Amino acid sequence: MAMCCFSHILLSPPYITTTFTSQSPSQFPRIAIFNKRDLEFHNHNTTTSFISSNPNKIFAIGNGATTETAVVEIQKLQFQVSKGYPSPFGATFQEDGVNFAIYSLNALSATLCLFTLSDFKNNEVTEYINLDPLVNKTGCVWHVFLKGDFKDMLYGYKFDGKFSPQQGHYYDSSRILLDPYAKAVISRGEFGAVGPDGNCWPQMAGMVPFNHEEFDWEGDLPLKYPQKDLIIYEMHVRGFTKHESSNTEFPGTYLGVVEKLDHLKELGVNCIELMPCHEFNELEYYSYNAVQGDYRVNFWGYSTINYFSPMIRYSSAGIKNCGRDGINEIKFLIKEAHKRGIEVINIAYAFISLIFYLSCFFRLNYAFIAILLEQVIMDVVFNHTAEGNEKGPIISFRGVDNSVYYMVAPKGEFYNYSGCGNTFNCNHPVVRKFIVDCLRYWVTEMHVDGFRFDLASIMTRSSSLWNGVNVFGAPIEGDLLAIGTPLSSPPLIDMISNDPILRGVKLIAEAWDAGGLYQVGTFPHWGIWSEWNGKYRDTVRQFIKGTDGFAGAFAECVCGSPNLYQGGRKPWNSINLVCAHDGFTLADLVTYNKKHNLPNGEDNNDGENHNNSWNCGEEGEFVSASVKKLRKRQMRNFFLTLMVSQGVPMIYMGDEYGHTKGGNNNTYCHDNYHNYFRWDKKEESSSDFFRFCRLLTKFRQECESLGLDDFPTSERLQWHGHFPVTPDWSESSRFVAFTLMDSVKGEIYVAFNTSHLPFTITLPERPGYRWEPLIDTSKSAPYDFLTPDLPGRDIAIQQYAQFLDANMYPMLSYSSIILLRTPDVNA
């Protein structure tokens, strides 16, 4: 038996060297060779050639005679490899190929891994391309250019370097990493479906772009509404249509939302704020929940894996076409949202007379245009990622360059200002470029109208300064900010605010973080940032439930919080909210005094304990009829407050019909009825609370005075108490009233009685006019909102005649009213 030593197989780049010895032909291994046309085999001092009539197999022949041979299978290379370019980052299709570029400061070597879709499903890499640091690296950027057929191809990277958590490095050459700039992430295809062998974290890869048809936007252009005109609706894509009562063709998907966009048109909102739609792993918390009898998942999505890729499992197509169909589905949702008309001209109660209509014609035309189309704002989570702390998975950023992308201490510990294990290193030069690139992509390529930044205060903190000398306390020249110090002019916020593309979109900050930084009213704003106004939420909740000492603060909220937004800021810098995805729903706010989070499987230890809620006398849903009646009244009070306040109102999905989560104020882990919009309940409420909400949103849109560009002054607004022009700002006051001059409606009187006692109030004298009731939250539907076409409207108004004739109005406890000044025909 001949001894054969295959010491070297010479290949053109990428270089693959293999050595093996065998004493039997059957023991020769079969190896894959890429990019090999002319092969030479060197056996000590002799040369053995490879020949074969089979283009996929060759046989070794040495010394002029056929020897015991190894069969070597040839896999033809699909790509031509060249140096490539360091910019732009990511996989970028060009005229004749794809350029790959990725930043890694501390990696010692890099390998591009390519997959066919079939190989990826079998967890096999189709081809490795080793990057030569002398050829394929510029500065800290690794790059390569490939020509070939990229249809149904995916990619990832391997990096080698130090694995030293104490130094902030997590390089592991055995792991294939996701490119932070990947435009679509492929892993599992179905939401909630566990991978092979129960794997909740299967391999992920990015889509390789190739030449294909552009999405047809049908001329869609940025809407650029004045922010003061917005009514925002916070929506969860899957939760909006997943319930069986939605009767949609594609429940729980982007296309499902499209099927239900007319609901938003009916409600009167003109801006959708989508909860996270970047790629995340819903199986991150996957575990059996014995309380519910189902499995805990990451339903909300505030744990991002990739910021460029939309959540592929929110698409009906899943991973088909390597995620391209999923990208097109969210584009279709955005395009259709932009196309949706919102009908305001058909609301009859907007006009008292034809003459009044004509006098308002030009403003109403503008208002119609301003709300004709719906805007789409994305909720983005640049404060942390799904990789968690040192015990978390290595998916992307951590393996590419942990000490760059994360805020780490001198000895490698992760700062945790997010409360989720890590903190994105937002003000590092490379990271802030990454964030700006991502935001630009979603504006230019995906046509979103703006962003709401989760825990945005983290983006104002100083980045970690990775300096080995600093670990040992050696003196450092110059100023050195401590890691995480809040900055008055954060570089990232500066870049976003002055970017020629991003400056023109809606920028909304959740101006706090889990590290105790609270910046509501003080967030660095450059004159364009708005904020979720958490102080508005807390104050309104306290006042409406009848807590003493909040009358003055409530009045500030109604005016757009001028006490917070000073120095040239405007009312629209305040995003006014009573409820949002985290915390009680509107119905639960008036039903529960305490959180009921046992279904989360954490022994009721999770979620906020201080909710400023009031159950109206009895806890839970099964209560007396009088308590139920008061709860509906309080829901109307909250919604009316939201719609008459200066600033931008935000409605949480489902509050318009009274959705309940059973008192659970932290439903992040439930893919079930807790988070599903109940379309059957909405229909039941169509003549009750939903009617009240849709009429009130349209009333706001029609009023020139309820969306001011500046804070109201005494020329427009006048405060009242139980008697005209005598407001009560004492600690015990539970009554706030005001009149507001309006160029469309004439004059509006609004009053809130949050006392447990009824009062008969005296209205301001207006010679030649009288006050006519429009809204009284103490009344049951449909008499809570008196539209001109309401059957029995005249009878309802006549019941107040003796009071109105005397310029008075009886207000029940826990109620609010809106009256309109109308000409007195008997004057």
Helix or strand or coil: residue 280? Answer: strand
> Does residue 510 have an active-site annotation?
yes
272 strand-pairing partners: 233, 376
| Residue bearing tokens 């609706």 | 233
Catalytic member of 336, 374, 454, 588? 454
Instruction: Write out the H or E segment, with its range, that includes residue 701.
Output: helix 689-702
Structure tokens at 579: 């409820």
User: CA-CA distance, 413 to 165, in Å (whole number)?
Assistant: 8
Catalytic member of 229, 387, 510, 702? 510
User: CA-CA distance, 511 to 491, in Å (whole number)?
Assistant: 16
Return the beta strands (E) in 330-373 as ranges. none
According to DSSP, residue 421 is labeled S
> Does residue 588 have an active-site annotation?
no
How much is the CA Rg of the chain, to the nearest whole Å?
A: 32
750 strand-pairing partners: 738, 818
Q: What is the 3-state secondary structure (H, E, C) of 210-221?
A: CCCCCCCCCCCC
Largest CA distance in the chain: 123
User: CA-CA distance, 360 to 344, in Å (whole number)?
Assistant: 14
User: CA-CA distance, 422 to 11, in Å (whole number)?
Assistant: 43
Which amino acid type is present at position 394? I
Say if CB 533 and CB 576 are below 8 A apart. Answer: yes
Is the peptide bond between 782 and the residue preceding it cis, with omega within 30 degrees of 0?
A: yes
DSSP per-residue letters across 140-164? TEEEEEEEE--TTEEEEEEEES-EE
Q: Which residues of 564-584 are buried (b: 16+ CB within 10 A; e: fewer)?
A: bbeeebbbbbbbbbbbbbebb
CA nearest 87: which of 439, 463, 492, 430? 430
62 strand-pairing partners: 48, 65
Instruction: Write out the H or E segment, with its range, that includes residue 117.
Output: helix 117-121
User: CA-CA distance, 440 to 500, in Å (whole number)?
Assistant: 10
Residues assigned a catalytic role: 454, 510
